[in-house]
């Protein structure tokens, strides 16, 4: 490899690794498996070792990946410096490299005898807790290793992290570090809720834990079922001689320390420990992706010291995720709703992690290049903790002579329009949004979805309407007639009538914020649409907003601002808006600022179960009358609004806290009744001031207490 070739490869590797760090630590949406990432890092380090003159200070090999929140995009978390740098561990997938680690440590320590502390490597997100005088003072994320996000409010909602230590003998102030993770049971429950709400599920428990820890609602964090395991105690003049002694003492103070630790005296015992947990990890109630081996004696840890990125006295052995080897049959290039073109590999069907895998994403041209994939290759497919199968490597020994590299298309594979690539983005896009069929159909599906206009229709119906030429944009939907619908295969009078009534209902009931989300401005999701609607209050004001004015809005960064400006610069989009205006859609917040009544003012209500209207409509109804929605039951909860099939956990928590139940019928009766002043002596019961007896009645309205 020449110096020029090395420079080019380093730049490519640094770009991909840096992007992967952002997706892993900040967005919680990784595109590389741990193994893929580590292989790229090994290659980067090998090139830098061969060409040291090319090493730069910003190289990922010299820096810890950062989970720091963007202060512009998220103002909820303050940032504080770590008292001691919070580094990462060196990784290996080879037992021989564990032997090399032990040999290096022994040599550096002059042949002194020492032991190893072997521990499970929890697959979660790193946390640093500071205790002062036995009380939790602060919780910081890893951040960039030097500073971290303050997530203390959220950590206080994690059940097994004590606010006050028990026993005695703790230092006046110390730090203890560990991992916050989501057990499989909580992960499955959360993803089931997301599927019911038609939201994208988390890919794995690690992403779920990291995303949950950064939520802005601490009560919702508490509901997510996070847990913590701590594994490293730091402080000044700590009275311990070994790492294991420190953790034993931490456990006596009530801190959550893993029960699966083991002291090993030699490589044979380390290998036996690794072998045991490689087989037994599938029976654990949480995800673990390896074993951490540490020199146990603290004075020897200090002697071994640190590199710029990791301690020399510890190493992580990573378990390999389950893989399968199968032939690549072909590559499709799919066009999404936003115009993004994604390469997808078609594979010879193969059994993997309990399912048959036939397709796997290749993400983008950069990833295809890194894999060096060729037509007809045999490829390794991996799922591990991921839901979406990924190709992680090519078996070069099976590559046929003369195999051809696939060429990423320069034009849209559907409509033929030249593709474009945004600066700083890895994906290519088709800009022909008005005439590219998959983009049009994707926009229509999004427009009619439950969280947008909530119209009775599915993707198959949209496909029919598009193929018949009845719709080409969202405004066309409101021009449809029953006669047109009856021309569609399988449509009868009742189905056509329901669809048209659903469209009419969407005009009457869909508020501006959901209309704004429905029209499909790129990067403007449900929450961003709500923020924009409340800030600008009308589509016309949003259209006239400058870039500077858009950037003043919370949660709106440069990418979103530019996307909004680009969308409104297209005259065809505003023509659609004018057609929707004539139909009668709400393109402004018409009601006066504030709730329509104060019946529920100051009340915190948790909803659970099903009602005569959708959960979103019930939330809106409560907020319309001054109430505040909370996602979990706490001492601050005023009522639990219990519908059919209310969650047993919420019911149990409400009972334990003495929180009253409220039925939908009683809620509607309350909203239909003028609430007199308390001094009138004729009031609807308030749980905050309810007497000790079990019921209280006002004009036939009964509030049931536990």
Q: Give the active site residues.
A: 121
Evaluate the CA torsion angle 239, 243, 244, 250 in order and state its sign. Answer: positive
**To which H or E segment does residue 360 belong?**
strand 355-361
Runs of H (alpha helix) within 253-323: 267-280, 298-304
Q: List the helix and strand counts (H, then E) for the chain.
A: 24, 24
Report the C-alpha gap between 59 and 314 in whole angstroms.
22
Question: 360 near 347, Cβ under 8 Å?
Answer: yes
CB atoms < 10 A from the CB of 594, how many?
A: 10
Report the C-alpha gap between 251 and 253 in whole angstroms.
5
Report the C-alpha gap between 132 and 171 in whole angstroms.
8
Report the C-alpha gap between 532 and 32 in whole angstroms.
33
Based on its alpha-carbon atoms, the radius of gyration of the chain, rounded to whole angstroms, reads 29
Report the C-alpha gap between 457 and 578 in whole angstroms.
24
Residue 96 in tokens: 């021989």
Secondary structure of 276-332 as H, E, C letters: HHHHHHHHCCCCEEEEEEEECEHHHHHHHCECCCCECCEEEEECCCCEEEEEEEEEE
Question: 535 near 527, Cβ under 8 Å?
Answer: no
Report the C-alpha gap between 259 and 122 in whole angstroms.
13
Collapsing DSSP to helix, strand or coil, 662 comes out as: strand
381: number of CA atoms within 13 Å, CB side? Answer: 28
CB atoms < 10 A from the CB of 35, how many?
A: 21
Report the C-alpha gap between 589 and 593 in whole angstroms.
9
Q: To 5 degrees, how large is the angle CA 61–CA 65–CA 68?
A: 150
Report the C-alpha gap between 670 and 408 in whole angstroms.
62
DSSP state string for 400-453: PTTPPPP---SB-TTT-PBPEE-TT-SSEE---TTT-HHHHHHHHHHHHSTTTT
Residue 650 neighbours by CB under 8 Å, 6+ apart: 606, 608, 632, 633, 640
DSSP state of 705: -
Report the C-alpha gap between 370 and 108 in whole angstroms.
37
Report the C-alpha gap between 177 and 501 in whole angstroms.
57
Question: 250 near 147, Cβ under 8 Å?
Answer: no
Return contacts of 271-274, CB within 8 angstroms, 24+ apart. 271/95, 271/98, 273/118, 274/95, 274/98, 274/118, 274/317
Residue 552 neighbours by CB under 8 Å, 6+ apart: none
Report the C-alpha gap between 203 and 278 in whole angstroms.
22
DSSP state of 411: B
Burial of 70 per CB tally in 10 Å (0-12, 13-18, 19+): exposed
Return contacts of 652-656, CB within 8 angstroms, 24+ apart. 654/606, 654/706, 655/706
């Amino acid at each position: 490899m020449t110096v020029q070739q090395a420079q080019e490869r380093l730049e490519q590797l640094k770009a991909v690794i840096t992007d992967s760090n952002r997706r892993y630590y900040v967005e919680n949406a990784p595109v590389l498996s741990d193994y893929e990432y580590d292989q790229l890092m090994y290659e980067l380090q090998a090139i830098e070792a061969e060409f040291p003159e090319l090493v730069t200070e910003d190289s990922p090999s010299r820096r810890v990946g950062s989970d720091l929140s963007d202060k512009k995009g998220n103002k909820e978390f303050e940032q504080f410096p770590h008292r001691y740098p919070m580094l990462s561990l060196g990784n290996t997938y080879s037992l021989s490299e564990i032997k090399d680690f032990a040999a290096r440590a022994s040599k550096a320590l002059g042949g002194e005898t020492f032991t190893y502390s072997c521990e499970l490597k929890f697959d979660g997100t790193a946390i640093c807790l500071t205790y002062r005088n036995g009380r939790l003072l602060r919780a910081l994320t890893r951040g960039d290793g030097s500073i971290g996000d303050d997530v203390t409010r959220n950590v206080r909602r994690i059940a097994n992290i004590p606010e006050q230590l028990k026993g005695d003998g703790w230092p006046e102030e110390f730090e203890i570090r560990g991992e916050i993770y989501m057990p499989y049971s909580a992960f499955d429950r959360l993803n089931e809720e997301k599927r019911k709400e038609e939201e994208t599920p988390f890919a794995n428990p690690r992403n779920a834990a990291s995303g949950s820890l950064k939520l802005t609602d601490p009560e919702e964090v508490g509901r997510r079922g996070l847990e913590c395991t701590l594994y490293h105690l730091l402080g000044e003049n700590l009275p311990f001689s070994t790492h294991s002694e420190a953790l034993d003492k931490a456990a006596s103070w009530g801190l959550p320390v893993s029960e699966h630790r083991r002291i090993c005296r030699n490589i044979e015992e380390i290998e036996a420990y690794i072998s045991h947990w490689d087989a037994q990890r599938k029976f654990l109630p949480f995800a673990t992706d390896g074993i951490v081996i540490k020199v146990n004696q603290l004075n020897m840890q200090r002697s071994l010291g640190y590199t710029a990125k990791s301690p020399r006295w510890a190493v992580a052995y990573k378990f390999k995720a389950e893989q399968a080897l199968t032939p690549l049959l072909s590559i499709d290039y799919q066009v999404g709703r936003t115009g993004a073109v994604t390469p997808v590999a078609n594979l010879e069907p193969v059994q993997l992690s309990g399912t048959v895998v036939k397709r796997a994403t290749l993400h983008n041209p950069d990833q295809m290049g890194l894999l060096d994939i060729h037509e007809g290759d045999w490829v390794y497919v991996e799922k591990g903790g991921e839901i979406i199968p990924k190709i992680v490597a090519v078996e070069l020994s099976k590559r046929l002579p003369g195999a051809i590299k696939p060429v990423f298309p320069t034009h849209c594979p559907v409509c033929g329009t030249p593709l474009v690539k945004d600066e700083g983005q890895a994906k290519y896009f088709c800009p022909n949004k008005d005439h590219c069929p998959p983009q049009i159909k994707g926009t229509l599906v999004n427009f009619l979805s439950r969280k947008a206009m909530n119209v009775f229709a599915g993707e198959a119906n949209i496909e029919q309407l598009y193929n018949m030429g009845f719709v080409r944009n969202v405004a066309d939907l409101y021009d449809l007639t029953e006669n047109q619908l009856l021309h569609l295969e399988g449509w009868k009078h009742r189905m056509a009538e329901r669809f048209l009534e659903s469209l009419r209902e969407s005009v009457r009931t869909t508020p501006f914020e959901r209309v704004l989300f429905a029209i499909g401005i790129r990067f403007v999701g449900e929450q961003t649409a709500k923020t924009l609607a409340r800030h600008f209050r009308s589509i016309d004001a949003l259209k006239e907003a400058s870039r500077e004015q858009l950037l003043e809005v919370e949660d709106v960064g440069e990418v979103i601002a530019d996307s909004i400006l680009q969308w409104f610069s297209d005259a065809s989009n505003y023509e659609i808006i004018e057609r929707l205006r004539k139909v009668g859609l709400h393109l402004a917040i018409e009601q006066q600022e504030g709730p329509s009544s104060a019946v529920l003012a100051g009340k915190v209500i948790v909803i659970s179960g099903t009602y005569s209207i959708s959960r979103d409509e019930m939330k809106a109804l409560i907020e319309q009358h001054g109430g505040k929605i909370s996602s979990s039951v706490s001492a601050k909860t005023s009522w639990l609004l219990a519908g059919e099939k209310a969650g047993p956990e919420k019911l149990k928590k409400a009972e334990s806290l003495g929180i009253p139940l409220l039925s939908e019928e009683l809620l509607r009766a309350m909203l239909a009744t003028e609430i007199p002043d308390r001094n009138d002596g004729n009031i609807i019961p308030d749980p905050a001031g309810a007497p000790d007896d079990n019921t209280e009645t006002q004009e036939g309205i009964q509030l049931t207490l536990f």
